[in-house]
Amino acid sequence: MSEVVICEVGPRDGLQNASRRMPTEAKKRWIDALAAAGLREIEVGSFVPPKLIPAMADTADIVAHARTLPGVKVVALAPNVKGFERALSAGAHRITFPVSASRRHSAANVHMTPEAMIEQVRQCAARRGAQGPEIEGAVSTAFGCTLQGAVPEDEVVRIAAALAGFCDGVTLADTVGYANPAQVRRILRRVRGEIGDKLEGAHFHNTRGLGLANALAAFEEGVRSFDSSLGGLGGCPFAPGASGNVITEDLVFMFEAMGVPTGIDLEKLFAARALLVEAMPGEPVYGHTPLAGLPKGFRAAA
């Protein structure tokens, strides 16, 4: 049994921002390798208009492929009702909606106010049907924004509370890598006080090297679901200055070394990393653990 759930977001957050395109067949092989390493949640793509992000044009095909992998929850991002309909017909198990707490980022990312975006998510949640997918509300730029600067914590709490009214779970996302551990603790406590167990996950970027510290702070505040990206790929094309996610390899190593089972096999994870490097030669990848190797006598958590 894993005590924390790590959702690999590289195929979405990573590839949407990469300077190189990964061919569809290579994406499928990579996702197979991620599943073989033990990842049980994979965000495989985004139903944004292909004109805006061509790297995500094959998402329906990728969702269909990922659905054949036993035990894998297939996650896809949708920025509006239209994207939701595409995600629904593709058969995503969970659909994530980004709702910016920053008004400036909301305008740049989804061309809507946060209130209009919340209303889109509400309509989608109402239309999913009894056998429909899980709906996740992700409060993006929850810890600051490169366009707007500071984001009021009251806004984060207000948006999380609104989303908790009809979403299965709410995630807080540090889209641009501004968060620090003290802020993470403070905001998570406030949001948990408001929405309790609907607060599900945390999504951090490693832009200023604090990704793991922020993940640990969130873990100590009771969060058990984390997004991360293999090789630390990632970033938001509509948030200038955003760079890679928390690195999956290092996050898994941290938890396993602490005795917190993730269900993920590090050697197999390194094999998935090799596939990623092979599929996009020259694309910068990050990570300390894969370069240093596992410590002598290392034992994964039982």
Catalytic residue status for 167? no
Which position's Cβ is nearest Zn ion? 13
Closest to Zn ion by CB, 120 vs 171, is 171
CB atoms near residue 32 (< 10 Å): 17
Beta carbon of residue 298, minimum distance to Zn ion (angstroms, whole number): 29
Beta carbon of residue 293, minimum distance to Zn ion (angstroms, whole number): 28
Beta carbon of residue 176, minimum distance to Zn ion (angstroms, whole number): 9
Interface size with Zn ion, residues (CB under 5 A) = 1
How deeply is 237 buried, as exposed, middle or buried, from its count of CB atoms within 10 A (0-12, 13-18, 19+)? middle
Expressed in angstroms, the distance from the first to the final Cα of the chain is 9
Structure tokens belonging to residue 171:
């995630």
Closest to Zn ion by CB, 13 vs 250, is 13
The Cα 277–Cα 95 span in angstroms is: 28
Could you tell me which of 211, 55, 201 has the C-alpha nearest to residue 140? 201
Closest to Zn ion by CB, 243 vs 300, is 243
Beta carbon of residue 13, minimum distance to Zn ion (angstroms, whole number): 4
Closest to Zn ion by CB, 13 vs 136, is 13
Cα dist. 62→33, 186, 294 in Å? 14, 38, 32
Footprint on residues 7-46 left by Zn ion (CB under 5 A): 13
Residue positions annotated with a catalytic role: 236
Name the residues that contact Zn ion, by CB under 5 A: 13
